[in-house]
Amino acid sequence: MRNPLENFYPGPPPIPPELAGRCDIAPSGEIEAGSWQSFTLVYTAGPYGMDDTASLKVVCRFASDQTMPQTTDPHAPGYLTAEASNGATLSCRCDYKQNVRPWDRTVHVKVVKGCMAEGDRITIRLGDTRFGSPGMRVQTFADPTFEFRVLADPIACYHFVPLLPQPVISIVPGPRARAHAVLPTLRQVGKVFRLGIRTEDAWGNPSGKAEAYFSLSANLSVHGLPERIIFREGEAARQVDDLRCDQPGDLVIRIGSPSGAETVSNPLRLVSEPVALSAFWADLHGQSGETIGTGTAEYYFGFARDQAFLDLVSHQGNDFQITQDFWKELGRLFAEFNQPGRFVALPGYEWSGNTPLGGDRNVYFLQDGRPIRRSSHALVPDHSDIGYDCRTAAELFAALARDREDALVVAHVGGRYANLAAAHDARFEPAVEIHSSWGSFEWLLYDAFDLGLRVGVVAGSDDHKARPGASWPGASLFGALGGLTCLRMPELTRKAAFSCLRQRRHYATTGSRLHLDVAALFSDPAIRFREDPALGKCPAETVRQAQMGDIIFRPAGEVSLQVEAATPAPIERLDFFNGKRHIGTWRPYGPTDLGWRIRVLWTGAEYRGRFRMTTWDGTAKLAGNAFARVAPINFFNPDKQLRRLGTGELSWESVTTGNFAGFEAQLETPAAGSLTVTTKSGTLETPVEWISLEESRVDCGGLDKQLLAYRLPEQNRCFEAKVTLAIPLESGRDNPLYVRLTTEDGHRAWSSPIYVVPQPEWLAG
């Protein structure tokens, strides 16, 4: 267990913890993640007793998504009570942020009348069920040493001492609820590859509860694929190595269970010709319990490699929480887990400056052992290296240049959001992160376009649960699945990853492992620059085709943008963009193909900052028609359900954080009646016959908050596409050409733009 005194005192505590009292918890031991419980904490006063106005704090980590305690409704979840054994009067308050990070979530119990002697007790009930409350929902992600950390201020000077030992429970996964099958996404026929299989509980925790049997089959002939595998008790993940397929095509592997449930892998595109740029999957953004998350950094790296089946990972702890000792430990882990050709660990950290000073940036190094330049020492007591701090993002870029660091920086949106207008350096910052567990943030890419920046797009998890590459949002402020980035590069090494990022040869997804390739085709020769020509004269060559991420000059005219995709779920639409301007949409169906299926979606966020989550709790009423079948879209929290109230009425609880959610419904009659969707953020009313290929749309304010309704074909079997669209260029400005792909399972992917730019002055000269 971690030292409970860390991050509280640079020196010794004000009074010895053993004199501050003790606290016991019931129940203890193993508790299933996401289960409903009622906990009793009994604090026994120590030799100092508890003075009049003395108090206790019970604090939990920011990352925890357990039910927040409340004192106002005895029938509601999380009801909190506190009683003193000697009859002293107590007051209680609950706050999301009333203690030192990362132990933010706070219950504060104060003695307001009377005092307590040694041996007197305060009994705190979290999720008190005696008056009708269902209890409290335990944190939804596993943690073997979950603390209800108790701090005491027995002398009433508001100087709190962590007790020793602390009340601890072990939060463990629930039963296996689903399986995931992971293949690479692009290989040449005849080359070996591996299949990864992971089983999870209902909340996304890797689960090895009870022995499980699975059958394996494929749509193409695969050498080395067993017909059946057995997961033993305690085994949550397995890799099947040395598989080979000699047929071109899109390979999928199906995994069946005795219950009849079936899991289908992502497609592996197998091509006959040699693959110059293979596809490698990365989650380069997350952290562990040594900073604001949970779990250890060592578990974090192991999970990325062995359970999420990633090819690349980084650790991005908040800089103002990374001590010198932890930076050294991270350095050891980066070096240990980095195995070129098998698994790449990129050294780095999160520069966590406030938004006016530049906002959150991910920093990556090519080499091990590089110094950390923090935004501050806010939670690092050792100030011996404070001279290395960079208070602003501009200072960070200047320091990286001055030190000639082989480093990369990615702007991202977390609690703080990146402020590209405050600072950007094209030598170091080649990309922006537009999706994570915090939501989707296309607006950050638009910020870059407005500023004339030429950046690629990445996605990560910003995982706080030590589960990079497979991060479920649970029941917290995280409203989306963690994202992934596909890097197109010739080999799996740090050097190749840096080259790929600098050239923007990558695309971002909301977690789906799909194949996406985008190329620009020119009728006349164009000039491709090896680097951003805005930085000065650089090597260039004549081409007739450009890849994702290229920077190109050609006279104004037209470009053919060619897109190839292979997806795990049917393709709903492919949107083409020139910068912020939407150019067109391709769908694998037209108006005459539409059937009885409709979709209703809600999307957007409140604003850019930390509390961007939008609540869409609401109802849908269908007058003069009925719902034959309904299914939720992007309902990630099992507590928030889509419910049928009758043949023509639905209700739900749902949130978005820049991403989208909603439902699909099959109607009894395709064009009869009217639909009214009422939510906390807006209302959509439309005759059913008006719901067609193009969306009926209601703007709901905030940051692109919208309600949408549109119609789909009865069946959509389009899992692959090859589409070309002619895009007219605008002269005198950058033309960032990219696509956004949406699949019917609620996932999205974005290509890094191909930049067709004006002629640089140095080239004209």
For the domain covering 276-511, report its CATH number: 3.20.20.140
* Mean pLDDT on 49-76: 95
* Mean pLDDT on 36-50: 97
Position 12 pLDDT exceeds 70? no
Q: What is the reported pLDDT for 14?
A: 74
Question: Does domain 514-588+721-765 match CATH 2.60.40.10?
Answer: yes
Which residues, other chains included, contact 307 with Cβ-Cβ below 8 Å and sequence gap of 6+? 198, 206, 236, 237, 467, 470
In percent, how much of the chain has pLDDT > 70? 98
Which residues, other chains included, contact 202 with Cβ-Cβ below 8 Å and sequence gap of 6+? 34, 174, 177, 178, 638
Q: Are 252 and 264 in contact (CB under 8 A)?
A: yes
Q: What is the reported pLDDT for 763?
A: 85
Cα(585)–Cα(224) distance, integer angstroms: 41
Which residues, other chains included, contact 599 with Cβ-Cβ below 8 Å and sequence gap of 6+? 633, 662, 663, 664, 665, 708, 709, 710, 711, 712
Long-range contacts from 757-761, C-beta under 8 angstroms, 24+ separation: 757/454, 757/533, 757/551, 757/552, 757/553, 758/553, 758/731, 758/732, 758/733, 758/734, 759/553, 760/533, 760/534, 760/553
Distance of CA 584 to the CA centre of its chain: 28
Q: What is the reported pLDDT for 759?
A: 92
Q: Are 304 and 468 in contact (CB under 8 A)?
A: yes
Cα(657)–Cα(366) distance, integer angstroms: 33
Position 110 pLDDT exceeds 80? yes
Residue 97: band (very low, low, confident or very high) from pLDDT cuts 50, 70, 90: confident
Predicted TM-score of the model (pTM) = 0.94
Distance of CA 122 to the CA centre of its chain: 39
**pLDDT tens readout for residues 207-250:** 999 999 999 999 999 999 999 999 999 999 999 999 999 999 99
* Mean pLDDT on 385-392: 96
Helix (H, G, I), strand (E, B) or coil at 234: coil
As given in the structure block, the two tokens for residue 518 are 């985008």
Fold of 591-713: Immunoglobulin-like (2.60.40)
**How would you class 692 by CB atoms within 10 Å of its CB: exposed for 0-12, middle for 13-18, buried for 19 or more?**
middle
Helix or strand run (H / E) with residue 44: strand 39-44
Q: What is the CB-side half-sphere exposure of residue 345 using CA atoms within 13 A?
A: 25
- Which stretches does DSSP call E strand in 74-191? 80-84, 89-95, 105-113, 121-126, 136-137, 143-147, 149-153, 161-162, 168-172, 178-182, 186-188
Rg (CA), the chain: 27
What are the distances in angstroms from CA 570 to CA 131, 187, 487, 712, 717? Answer: 49, 22, 23, 12, 6
In the chain, where does the domain assigned CATH 3.20.20.140 lie? 276-511
**pLDDT tens readout for residues 278-332:** 999 999 999 999 998 899 999 999 999 999 999 999 999 999 999 999 999 999 9
Which is it for strands 754-757 and 748-751: parallel, antiparallel or unpaired? Answer: unpaired
Q: What is the CB-side half-sphere exposure of residue 188 using CA atoms within 13 A?
A: 10
Q: What is the reported pLDDT for 556?
A: 79
Helix or strand run (H / E) with residue 327: helix 324-337
Which residues, other chains included, contact 1 with Cβ-Cβ below 8 Å and sequence gap of 6+? 145, 147, 166, 168
Helix or strand run (H / E) with residue 764: helix 761-764
What amino acid occupies position 79?
Y
Helix (H, G, I), strand (E, B) or coil at 200: strand
Residue 2: band (very low, low, confident or very high) from pLDDT cuts 50, 70, 90: low
In the chain, where does the domain assigned CATH 2.60.40.2950 lie? 178-271
What amino acid occupies position 211?
E
Q: What is the reported pLDDT for 707?
A: 98
Q: What is the reported pLDDT for 4?
A: 52
Cα(756)–Cα(753) distance, integer angstroms: 9
Q: What is the CB-side half-sphere exposure of residue 464 using CA atoms within 13 A?
A: 22
Cα(387)–Cα(370) distance, integer angstroms: 15
Which is it for strands 754-757 and 735-743: parallel, antiparallel or unpaired? Answer: antiparallel
Q: Which CATH number fits domain 178-271: 2.40.50.140, 2.60.40.2950, 3.40.50.970, 3.50.50.60?
A: 2.60.40.2950
Which architecture characterizes domain 17-172 according to CATH?
Answer: Sandwich (2.60)
Q: Are 97 and 104 in contact (CB under 8 A)?
A: yes
As given in the structure block, the two tokens for residue 498 are 């840096």
In the chain, where does the domain assigned CATH 2.60.40.10 lie? 514-588+721-765
Helix (H, G, I), strand (E, B) or coil at 154: coil
Position 10 pLDDT exceeds 60? no
Q: Are 267 and 568 in contact (CB under 8 A)?
A: yes
* Mean pLDDT on 186-192: 97
Q: Give the DSSP letter of residue 433.
A: E
Of residues 109, 71, 108, 113, the one with CA closest to residue 89: 113
Cα(556)–Cα(534) distance, integer angstroms: 19
Position 9 pLDDT exceeds 80? no
As given in the structure block, the two tokens for residue 49 are 């007793």
Of residues 752, 183, 308, 281, the one with CA closest to residue 489: 281
Cα(681)–Cα(699) distance, integer angstroms: 10
Residues 446, 279, 455: CA angle, nearest 5 degrees: 20
Helix or strand run (H / E) with residue 456: strand 456-459
**pLDDT tens readout for residues 454-489:** 999 999 999 999 999 999 887 766 889 999 999 999
What are the distances in angstroms from CA 32 to CA 148, 464, 487, 549, 704? Answer: 16, 19, 37, 46, 38
